[in-house]
Each structure stands twice: as structure tokens, then as C-alpha cells.
Chains A and B, each alone.
Chain A
């Protein structure tokens, strides 16, 4: 995948988040502060205005700009979390014009480390990590066993969706949802859901 295709995929992610913003916000209304979808959509829309500045640039610059824009415009925790994820992903791809499947999975691993560091979070706390980590583990195994991009990404989406289902069964111990405590059981995590939305778009693009 070259840098113009990466930009195309990010625009498709932006469109998907815009489509899903009511649902994501609804999820967040139940267990959080009800702003996830609207905030994420605002962040990606703000990136769209920066396209002229990043068109033709390397993948690292594009991803880093997405990260910086999300940090500046999202306003909720998703800003610094996804912002850090995209900025770390950008650093891992600095100067690169192409990214292959193994590079993508490796980049996701770097992004996950960024989210863990920023959120001081780990798996099992009802956060976006509960979709990200299983998706990463499944895709890493798929790449290592020689599967192609389409199959690998579909496996990743499957694992992320399972992760979202898993978030329904656990109590939130991180973020605003932790105030809701036991009442968070039965509800899926908005961050895990929005990550899965993004991965679905990436999977559909290969």
C-alpha cells in the first residue's frame, strides 16, 4: 500500500466514523460521558481540512498529522489515546512511501504500546485495548503463518469483534466508565467499537 492509498483509507475511516457517530455516542452515553462518536467525527473532519498539506507526503507524515489533529480537536480521552497511537504509528513509518502487511501489523503493535503508555492501561479494563490487542495477536500469528493480507485483516476484524463482545462482560476500571462500576456490565466499550470500525475499513480496502 502506498502513501496515497493510506490517505484514501484514512478518508474512508473518517466517513465510517461519521456514519457511526450516533451509535458510538449512544454507547458512550450509557457508560461514559456521551461524546465519543461526536468527538471522533470532529477529529477526523478536522484532518480532512489538512489533506492539501499532506498530499504526496510520506506515510509517516500522514499518520503523524492524523495524530496531531486528533489530539488538538477531539477533546475527550480518545484525542490523546488515538492521537498517541497515530503519532507513534507515524514515527514507525517516517519517510516511508510504502507499507506492507507485516509493516502494518508491526505498526499496530507500536500504536498499542502508545495507548498503553498514555492511558496507563492494559487488557481487561474495558477499553479500546480489548479490541486492539486480540486483533494484533491474531494478525501477527496469521502473518507468521504466511496468510495473505485479505485473510489476515479479516482474521483481525474477527478478533476485534470478539474483543468488543468481551467488553460487554467486564466491569470498566479505566476512564469515565469506571465511575459507573458494575452498571457497565452488559454494555460494549465505545473505544473498542471505534477501533473495530477502523480495522473493518482497512480490511475492506485490501
Chain B
């Protein structure tokens, strides 16, 4: 199954996004990489790397980020890991995570999970 990683400046936000995905896609390998250290906002190179390693399997891994350093630090982790089946996706982090994890537990491959996450951009709420 495709693994999912949630990168955020906030530990609580990353864990919260992971929690929300469990409602509809329990069983998806998903890991949170939030905050720099306990109580400190920021993004952690080590946490992102550990999160990717913890969910990464033969079907690859999709990473969702909030903004700024979350994006740039994730890029640096990927340059270090050199996996060709780990992708970053530009999408709303909550809706994208829900869409991607549902796709993953349904057996979608990495590209299909990526598309599911991207499609969350166009979901109208009003």
C-alpha cells in the first residue's frame, strides 16, 4: 500500500491530520512529521526522514506539506534519500490527506493517490 507522510510546522496539526484520516481510511500507513522539537514550531529534517522510512514500502510514498520550510526541508530529505518512488504533492493538507489515504486503502498506486490528493484542490465547500 502507498504510504503517506504529513509534514507541518505544528506537531499537533500533523498528528491531527493523521487522526482525521483514520475515520475513513484506517489501515493506511501514515506518519506525522510535525514541529521541530516538543513545543517548538518548525520543520525537522530528521522527523521527516524517519516518517518517510516508517511508511515507505514497495508501493512508494506520498508526502503532503503545509508551507515554506515544510516544503523545502522535505525536498532536501528526498535529495538525500534518492528514492524514485517518493513524491511530494501540492494540495490542501487536510482534504488532500483524506483523499489520498482513501485512495491508498482502496489499492490505488502512487500516481493515483497523487491525483486523488491534487483533486482535493477543486473540491468546493460552498
Contact B44 A75 (CB under 8 A): yes
Q: Is A118 an interface residue when CB atoms closer than 8 A count as contact?
A: yes
Number of A-B pairs, beta carbon distance below 8 Å: 49
Interface size on B, residues (CB 8 A): 15
- Stretch touching chain B among A6-14, A79-87, A161-169: A79-87
B72 engages A75 (CB within 8 Å): no
- Among B36, B45, B69, contact of A77 (Cβ-Cβ < 8 Å): B69
B76 pairs with A71, CB closer than 8 A: yes
Contact A79-B69, Cβ < 8 Å, known A84-B76, A118-B75: yes
Partner of B75, one of A39, A78, A80, A175: A80
B116 to chain A, nearest CB (A): 25
Contact A35–B42 (Cβ < 8 Å)? yes
Closest to A72 in B: B45
Pair B45/A71 contact, Cβ less than 8 Å: yes
Inter-chain contacts of A77 with B (CB < 8 A): 68-69, 72
Q: 1/0 per residue B15-40: CB within 8 Å of A?
A: 00000000000000000000010001
Shortest beta-carbon distance from A74 to chain B in Å: 7
Of the candidates A33, A119, A175, the one having the most CB atoms from chain B within 10 angstroms of its own CB is A33
CA distance A84 to B69 in the complex (A): 12
Q: Could you list which residues of chain A lie within 8 angstroms of chain B, going by C-beta atoms? A: 33, 35, 39, 71-81, 83-84, 118-119, 175-176
Show 26 A/B contacts (Cβ-Cβ < 8 Å), sorted by A: A33-B41, A35-B41, A71-B45, A72-B46, A74-B69, A75-B40, A75-B41, A75-B42, A75-B43, A75-B44, A75-B69, A76-B42, A76-B43, A77-B69, A78-B69, A79-B42, A79-B45, A79-B72, A79-B73, A80-B69, A80-B72, A80-B76, A83-B76, A118-B72, A175-B68, A176-B67
